[in-house]
Amino acid sequence: MTSMAGIRTISAATSSQVAKGTRKTSQIPVRISIKRRSDAFAKATVEADGGLNGSSSNDNASALEMKRTLKESKPEISSKDSSTLPRPLTASDLSNSANRSRLRVAYQGLPGAYSESAAAKAYPNCEAVPCELFETAFDAVDRWVVDRAVLPIENSLGGSIHRNYDLLLRYSLHIVGEVKYAVRHCLLANRGVKIEDLKRVLSHPQALAQCEHTLTKLGVVREAVDDTAGAAKFVATNQLQDAGAVASSLAAELYGLNILARDIQDDSDNVTRFLMLAREPIIPGIDRPFKTSIVFSLEEGPGVLFKALAVFAMRDISLTKIESRPQKKRPTLISDDGCSGTPKYFDYLFYVDFEASMASQNAQNALRHLEEFAKFLRVLGSYPMDVSQA
């Protein structure tokens, strides 16, 4: 790879110079809580997954592993006893350790979540590890509890998942790949329950919103819960006869539910893009299409953003995503040394994805140029583009 010695903050090789931040981990319940919300269409994080074929990792034979605590659910679920399914990883599990050799990949949600399917697509032979929160998944990679994480970053209908953008700045992890996953919602219910028996339907707020037309035709009450797989588990565990769930076909299989209807989403073009995260960056190449993700901040002034984006235009580099986030009244925890985070104030943070590899001299020159007037600049990752069908 061509030398980047002239760039202080953007080299893919300088993995230690990333924003990690100071984290205070609160005590999290052992099981995911299915909390009902009155507003089914409240703004919420998209739950969905996708992936690319990735190679296995030999990061460290003595890496940490979570302690498994399997608890039985009553009544029993007809397809698989819930005690045989992985329990979501919590913050309290991260201090436990054991030797392991199999590649472990964290995702957010319960078994049967779309994110689990995305993790399996990204790393087909992996052990998928469920986590209660996005932050728990980041923490699990950071502490060597797992090897990778596969987490959603944007959905074609719901937009960006801003929480994960914030966590990318707080942790010293690197984007090593992306994967696109087509979300196909199913209407699930217990065996013997017919579609006309349904009085209410439970799911994640985004899933309910994405199936609004179908659910309106059925005349059911929509009840929002924490995630799609959690909705399926709740309906199955409580043997509800008047309620269904919007979730994946995998959730139906895991929790012993019937699929009353498939592909009930209003828009068939419902695709979620996931990022594959690791502790170390990959070495970028030029043998296939690459994408690079960066975040930067600028001084206030007329035409400053235009000048920032012009560094790519003048070099014929295509941008695939541009997003800004106001930060005027709250500090962002960013670390310059990868060890300790201090609050820093930026008027706006700009996230940009562009189609070029950091191994390209053209991309290196563009970022050198951008660094001349950027207050802050960081490469989040340079990685192969997912050019497959979702």
User: Which residues belong to the active site?
Assistant: 272, 274
Instruction: Tell me the two tokens of residue 367.
Output: 């970022």
**What length is written for the chain?**
390
**Residues in CB range of 342: below 8 A, 6 or more apart:** 333, 334, 335
Q: How far, in Å, CA of 172 to CA of 161, rounded?
A: 19
- In the chain the first and final C-alpha atoms are separated, in Å, by 31
**Residues in CB range of 197: below 8 A, 6 or more apart:** 189, 241, 242
CA angle 102, 108, 111 (to 5 degrees): 70
Residue 280 contacts residue 60 (beta carbons within 8 Å): no
Instruction: Please write down the HEC assignment for all residues of 244-312.
Output: EEEECHHHHHHHCCEEEEECCCCCCCCEEEEEEEECCCCCCCCCCCEEEEEEEEECCCCCHHHHHHHHH
Residue 10 contacts residue 4 (beta carbons within 8 Å): yes
CA angle 316, 323, 386 (to 5 degrees): 65
Residue 231 contacts residue 204 (beta carbons within 8 Å): yes
For the chain, how many helices (H) and strands (E)? 9, 17
- Collapsing DSSP states into helix, strand and coil, what is residue 369? helix
- Collapsing DSSP states into helix, strand and coil, what is residue 47? coil
